Amino acid sequence: MADPRVANFAKVLVEHSARIVPGDRVLIEATTAAEPLVRELYIQILEKGGHPHPLVSLPGMMPFSQDELYLTYAKEAQLDFIPTFYKIAYDQFESRIRIHSATNTRGTTNIDPATAQRRSKALSSITEAQMRRGAEGAFKWVTTLYPTDAYAQDASMSLKEYEDFVFGAVHAHEDDPIAYWNSTAAGQQKAIDWLTGKSQIVMQGPNVDLTLSIKGRSFKNSTGLFNMPDGEIFTGPVEDSVNGWVKFTYPAIYGGVAVEGAELTFNRGRVEVAKAEKNEAYLVKMLESDSGSRYLGEYAIGTNFDINKFTGNILFDEKIGGTFHMALGAGYPETGSRNKSSIHWDMICDLRKDSEIRVDGELFYKNGEFVFDT
């Protein structure tokens, strides 16, 4: 029997996130493991008058995630090749829906970092088109995840437990999940309004002593338009303003490689010292990807308290209520960020104990909660 939550999941993606209207050309990226959701998306996009273009791969063949087979067998010229159909879609289509649906999340763990780095550079023009056209309002993109055994194992859950977790985080179990996502905007907007016009952020706690500038930058209210599930406010810090130290309290996972105990020291915006307890060489190698990879493209605060544990998947983990995350590399132009890079690597730090954020000297956030004076 079909799970009714899958149809509700598709409804959220089609009507709330991608906002499909008649005539929209929609790229659907997935593996065969997400077949139930792809089927529902295909039907609902057609019902909305859109033109679905499923680009469904075997597990391990997703160009923008765990691309194990390509990175294992591709020669140098192939690593530099820009995938034709993806390039056309990102340059011309009105929308794309990406469904992470890996059956092996560690397939690229032993891939040479130089190989992954070279492939990332080849794909950077596609990433740039997504961010640029998204900022212009010409490209409605959303990234989500379909539960598989691999993700469940990473989260130390059974598949059924993980399905309940994913569908619960999306609120696909509710009669009207779109109403929930619409209701999340107001509270987050209050924090954004308070931050408007402010300049300096100072974060202090057991794992962070960091300052950065948000002068002239804008925070964005994330309520399911680009990620599903969602729950964060984010901006792009002034590129040369970041100074200090942070130790990320959760593994930083990128390209299927988990870097544990990552510590970064910034000077005038640039990562000057990078250390890690595990996979430090990979961290350092990715920091050498290009001129923008040692600078921050994003600073964000997670606000989703329905996501209350680390699962090993950044789509969920960066939204954990009571945390902040920063992304090395490419920034979002709509925030004012000017940083460009072939990477965008989110790293998360817990702020729920003995931690605070001050903005222009005023207490804004303490021990995982907003405390600003409205």
Q: What 8-state DSSP symbol labels residue 34?
A: G
CA dihedral 11, 12, 14, 15 (to 10 degrees): 100
| Dist. CA 323–CA 303, nearest whole Å | 8
Exposed, middle or buried: residue 185 (CB in 10 Å: 0-12, 13-18, 19+)?
middle
Asked if the model's pLDDT at residue 66 lies above 90, the reply is: no
Domains in the chain, please, with CATH?
Answer: 4-180 (3.40.1830.10), 184-370 (no CATH)
CB contact set of 359 (below 8 Å; sequence gap of 6+): 195, 198, 200, 201, 202, 372
* CA angle 136–139–144, rounded 5-degree value: 125
Copy the structure tokens of residue 291: 């001129």
In this prediction, residues 144-156 reach a mean pLDDT of 95
Q: What 8-state DSSP symbol labels residue 81?
A: P
CB contact set of 324 (below 8 Å; sequence gap of 6+): 203, 299, 300, 301, 302, 348, 349, 351, 357
Specify the pLDDT at position 106: 80
Which has more pLDDT, 216 or 120? 216
Beta bridge partners of 329: 344
At 75, the pLDDT band (50, 70, 90 cuts) reads very high
Q: What is the pLDDT of residues 254-292, one digit of tens each?
A: 977 899 999 999 999 999 999 999 999 999 999 999 999
Specify the pLDDT at position 172: 95
In this prediction, residues 334-347 reach a mean pLDDT of 94
In this prediction, residues 285-310 reach a mean pLDDT of 94
Query: For all residues of the chain together, what is the average pLDDT?
Result: 93
At 117, the pLDDT band (50, 70, 90 cuts) reads confident
Q: Break the chain down into helix, strand, coil percent, rounded to 5.
A: 35, 30, 40
Asked if the model's pLDDT at residue 121 lies above 90, the reply is: no
Asked if the model's pLDDT at residue 62 lies above 80, the reply is: no
Q: What is the pLDDT of residues 153-200, one digit of tens each?
A: 999 999 999 999 999 999 999 999 999 998 888 889 999 999 999 999
C-alpha to C-alpha distances, 117 to 47, 71, 295, nearest whole angstrom: 40, 10, 16
Q: Could you tell me if 260 and 280 are in contact, meaning their C-beta atoms sit under 8 angstroms apart?
A: no
Poorest-pLDDT segment among 55-64, 293-302, 325-334, 344-353: 55-64
Specify the pLDDT at position 140: 97
Asked if the model's pLDDT at residue 67 lies above 80, the reply is: no
Asked if the model's pLDDT at residue 215 lies above 90, the reply is: yes
Specify the pLDDT at position 149: 95
Look at residue 150 and give its three-state secondary structure: helix
Look at residue 179 and give its three-state secondary structure: helix
Exposed, middle or buried: residue 211 (CB in 10 Å: 0-12, 13-18, 19+)?
middle
Q: Could you tell me if 110 and 104 are in contact, meaning their C-beta atoms sit under 8 angstroms apart?
A: no
- Whole-model pTM: value is 0.82
β-pair type (95-100, 140-145): parallel
Complete DSSP assignment for 307-323: --S--S-HHHHTTBTTE
Asked if the model's pLDDT at residue 297 lies above 90, the reply is: yes
Specify the pLDDT at position 108: 79
Specify the pLDDT at position 155: 94
| Dist. CA 271–CA 296, nearest whole Å | 9
Most confident of 58-62, 69-73, 199-203: 199-203
Copy the structure tokens of residue 208: 């962070």
Asked if the model's pLDDT at residue 323 lies above 70, the reply is: yes
